[in-house]
Copies of this chain bind each other. A is one copy, B any other.
Amino acid sequence: MQGLMQDWPLLCHRIIDHAAIQHGNREVVSRSVEGPIHRTTYAEVRTRALKVAQRLQQEGIKEGDRVGTLAWNTWRHLESWYGITGVGAVYHTVNPRLFAEQIIYIVNHAEDKLMFLDLTFVPLMEKLQAELKTVEKYVIFTDAAHMPQTALKNAVPYEEWLNEADGDFEWVTVDENAACGMCYTSGTTGNPKGVVYSHRSNVIHSMSAIAPDAFDLSVRDSIMPVVPFFHANGWSIAFSAPMSGCKLVLPGMKLDGESIYNLLEGEKVTMTAAVPTIWLMLLAHMETNNLKLSTLRRVLIGGSACPPAMIEKFEEVYGVDVAHAWGMTEMSPIGSVCSIKPDYGTFSKKDVLAVKAKQGSSPFGVEMKIVDDSDKDLPWDGKTFGRLKVRGVAVAKGYFKEEGGKVLDKDGYFDTGDVATIDPFGTMQITDRSKDVIKSGGEWISSIDLENLAVGHPKVAEAAVIGVVHPKWDERPLLIIVPKAGENPTKEEILGYMDGKIAKWWMPDDVTFVPEIPHTATGKILKTALRDQFKDYTLPTATAAE
């Protein structure tokens, strides 16, 4: 017996329709790539997105075709997403921080037919275009007045291209399981692999993202996604913000502390989201200039582990609630958000901070478990480490063109490649990437825990821990430190600071100081490069053991 409810497919265009009808006057404010602040509304974004869809159709873009975007967070990038999905095509966000060969690889692999790009990336694409086999046209996110001289194939300025449409267009209706978006994972080894979002997964994911224990987005909020749209589906904010009807503030290409601070204050931002590195820059800017935050109430931090010291600073010094989140490109991307459950009872500020340093629990729609190497379930005791596996309504079941083969286990779980503990109340904490965990005498040591601890030292700017071969223990931790400008910490100072705060056998066997640590295109520490660099390193304890 079937239900008798309406057939109302979950399509992305319904989100911008809803925003335009119910929240049509709400502002979308961007720092344009050209410079000035630009203001528009959801109603206007929808009108222009319809024109994008119409123009794409005129260009021959059909259902399922991939359209690349290489752009910062601005209203034009937002419009292009809705225009692309609204003609039944697939937005493919290209991360400009990838190596040139990777960009070439993914654009060819995705077979992007047309590409939207910001002014910033014209020189880059001019260099690469000869190798891009499928791109027929480049639409530059600017107007005729700012259009550069360019050798890009069929290059046109977006505004003039858009103006050729009369906007008399109806969204193309596709199956809700049809592809609508694509984002390649920045794997540290091998070629990037394409995650393919469906209309359904994006819509349902956004519904769960706006909930009080996730983003907590209401119509009275003003959200600024500093996380770029090209990073892990833009954390879904291009969908969840209009769905909730809140004001949307887009920072364009200026992600430095001062620019971000000015938008936070100037646009009365109440909620923002980005990786820890961004917040380091903001916090440094505010400290140096003795600034306060007057409207921000909540900051969503994810992408890599948020150091407890950062949580403490936001909460204690700036009165901003930190929501530590975990996710991945393959999860659309939210996997968990940390919200303090009543199970913890009443407890001290310090205890709250310890819980907030965890990555949180999964919202409805995500199932998670931790397992050992033989795939046996591990207990949720907050201590046992295991491989973190997930299942859910917006979790990948495979990659584009079946790259990477079958990725689900027999129960349909996806292996995240992360190692985690889950406490008795369901709060998960990432302890490592499974590739980065340090295996010392058969036991696991969390590199993230050690890094979080080390960056708490006032003289440390950044810290990375890798396992280095050890004759007796197989592997032992080496702590690699970038000192703060003008500081000269010693090994003894750092180890002395860490001593007593972790189990004795977790203490790094050595500390080394470097001017810089390599990062991936999405801002994570590039451990493969570090392991390479230190592959012949001899620990002082190694000689002693021999």
Contact = CB atoms under 8 A, between A and B. Distances in A.
Interface stretch (A21-29, A100-108, A463-471): A21-29
A5 B200 contact: yes
Interface stretch (A67-75, A112-120, A338-346, A500-508): A338-346
Given A22-B362, A212-B217, A220-B342, A63 B396 contact: no
Interface string A204-247: 10011011110011111000000000000000000000011101
Contact of A2 (B179, B195, B212): B179
A25 B343 contact: yes
Contacts of A200: 3, 5
A341 B245 contact: yes
Interface in A146-170: none
Given A6-B396, A196-B4, A342 B219 contact: yes
Given A8-B392, A207-B208, A178 B244 contact: no
Interface stretch (A299-307, A309-317, A397-405, A530-538): A397-405
Contacts of A208: 207
Contacts of A393: 5-6, 8, 10
B364 A195 contact: no
A469 to B, nearest CB: 39
A197 interface: yes
A15 B363 CA distance: 11
B211 A5 contact: no
Contacts of A24: 426
Nearest to A361: B22
A253 interface: no
Interface in A320-376: 332, 339-343, 361-362, 364-365, 367
Interface in A379-409: 391-400, 408
B341 A394 contact: no
A255 to B, nearest CB: 27
A18 interface: yes
Nearest to A174: B1
Contacts of A339: 218-220
Given A26-B342, A393-B8, A3 B217 contact: no
A201 B362 CA distance: 22
A180 interface: yes
A257 interface: no
A23 B24 CA distance: 37
B207 A5 contact: no
B197 A243 contact: no
A199 to B, nearest CB: 7
A411 to B, nearest CB: 11
Query: Which of A5, A342, A393, A412 has the most chain B CB within a 10 Å cutoff?
Result: A5
A4 B213 contact: no
B21 A196 contact: no
A217 to B, nearest CB: 6
A90 interface: yes
A415 to B, nearest CB: 13
Interface string A404-443: 0000100010100000000001100000000000000000
Contacts of A396: 4-6
Contacts of A342: 26, 219-220, 247
Contacts of A395: 5-6, 8
A481 B391 CA distance: 58
B340 A426 contact: no
Given A219-B341, A341-B23, A199 B392 contact: no
Nearest to A414: B6
Given A207-B204, A210-B212, A213-B218, A177 B6 contact: no
Most buried by B among A207, A211, A220: A211
A522 interface: no
30 contacts: A1-B90, A1-B178, A1-B196, A2-B196, A2-B198, A3-B177, A3-B178, A3-B179, A3-B196, A3-B197, A4-B400, A5-B177, A5-B198, A5-B200, A5-B393, A5-B394, A5-B395, A6-B396, A6-B412, A6-B414, A15-B364, A21-B426, A204-B204, A207-B208, A207-B364, A219-B339, A219-B341, A220-B342, A243-B364, A245-B341
